[in-house]
């Protein structure tokens, strides 16, 4: 299996998270973008302020690597207007895919109308501009019942408001990879969480992000039915090695 076709190579650390200066962290981001070009990964996933840089590097290399970014990352608690503003700026800068963080805390508190509204409007913005939308549910912050319910909510909003031709362009995504769990529990994709998502996503594709660290784990995820895998250790996974990356 050519696992590279499934890999969203990911670098999302801020300067402070990386312990680097702005110029140093920009250099790391450039290395990740260049690696994605050289290795032929499906996509490079970077922060919004790096989209324009990635667009230029990919164009200069005449590469087909797609550009993805994260919206309202990693908490997901901003207003829908803030989410849309950030997403629109990224569209203007040449992004191909928008990975929105769902307001999963609002969902847990019972405010499902807010989540439905952001899924509707965020998806609409993406599809109207011929972009992919992915909705990060932060599975590690939810129990199994909640994982099933928020996945079904996203599916139902999409089915109620968009054509079947659009379903393949709206993903449900497991994790940011940055959620802090108690007792060192997994904070990303697990077999259990991904299985629940797949069972409730209907015709919507699922992206496994966070915690996939080996080629065999990646192949297992694809075998379950996921269409994309997000990892900051894409090169190691593609080479059949185990990555020590955190997300």
- Residue 39 confidence (pLDDT) above 90: yes
Give the lowest-confidence range in 2-6, 43-47, 65-69, 154-158: 2-6
pLDDT range class, residue 242, cuts 50, 70, 90: confident
Active site residue 173: yes
Q: What is the pLDDT of residues 192-228, one digit of tens each?
A: 999 999 999 999 999 999 989 999 999 999 999 999 9
Catalytic entry in 99, 134, 155, 235: 99
Domain spans of the chain, in order of start: 3-238
Rounding to the nearest 10 degrees, give the CA dihedral for residues 208, 166, 42, 104: -30
Using 50, 70 and 90 to split pLDDT, how confident is the model at 87? very high
Determine contact, residues 33/235, Cβ cutoff 8 Å: no
> Does residue 25 have a pLDDT over 90?
yes
Q: With cut-offs at 50, 70 and 90, classify the pLDDT of residue 241.
A: confident
The pair of three-digit structure tokens given for residue 240, joined into one six-digit string: 């059949």
Q: List residues bridging with 100 in a β-sheet.
A: 71, 135
Q: Count Cβ atoms below 10 Å from residue 115 Cβ, excluding itself.
A: 24
pTM of the model: 0.96
* Mean pLDDT, residues 12-29: 95
For domain 3-238, which CATH number applies: 3.20.20.70, 3.40.50.720, 3.90.226.10, 3.40.190.10? 3.20.20.70
C-alpha distance from residue 215 to each of 10, 11, 72, 111, 224 (Å)? 16, 19, 30, 39, 14
Which residue carries 């497991």 as its tokens? 174
Average pLDDT value for residue range 115-131: 98
Catalytic residue selected from 42, 134, 207, 235: 207
* Whole-number average pLDDT of the chain: 95
Across 118-122, 160-164, 231-235, least confident range: 231-235
Residue 180, pLDDT score: 84
Average pLDDT over residues 11-33: 95
Task: Tell me which of 83, 131, 173, 235 is the catalytic residue.
Answer: 173
- pLDDT band at 244, cuts 50/70/90? confident
Query: Which pLDDT value is given to residue 2?
Result: 87
- Candidates 238, 233, 239, 147; CA nearest to 190 is 147
């Amino acid at each position: 299996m050519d696992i590279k076709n499934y890999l969203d190579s990911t670098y999302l650390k801020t300067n402070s998270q990386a312990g680097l200066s702005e110029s140093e962290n920009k250099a790391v981001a450039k290395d990740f973008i260049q690696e994605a070009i050289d290795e032929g990964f499906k996509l490079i996933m970077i922060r919004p302020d790096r989209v324009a840089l990635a667009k230029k590097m990919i164009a200069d290399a005449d590469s087909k690597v797609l550009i993805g970014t994260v919206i309202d990352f990693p908490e997901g608690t901003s207003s829908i207007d803030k989410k849309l503003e950030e997403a629109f700026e990224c569209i203007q800068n040449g992004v191909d895919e928008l990975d929105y963080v769902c307001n999963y805390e609002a969902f847990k508190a019972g405010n499902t109308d807010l989540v439905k509204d952001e899924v509707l409007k965020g998806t609409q913005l993406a599809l109207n501009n011929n972009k992919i939308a992915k909705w990060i549910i932060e599975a590690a912050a939810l129990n199994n019942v909640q994982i099933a319910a928020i996945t079904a909510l996203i599916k139902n909003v999409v089915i109620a408001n968009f054509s079947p031709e659009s379903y393949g362009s709206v993903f449900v995504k497991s994790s940011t990879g940055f959620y802090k769990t108690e007792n060192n529990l997994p904070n990303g994709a697990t077999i259990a969480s991904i299985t629940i998502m797949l069972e409730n996503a209907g015709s919507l594709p699922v992206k496994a992000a966070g915690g996939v660290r080996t080629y065999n784990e990646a192949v297992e995820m694809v075998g379950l039915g996921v269409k994309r895998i997000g990892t900051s250790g894409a090169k190691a996974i593609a080479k059949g090695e185990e990555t020590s990356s955190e997300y």
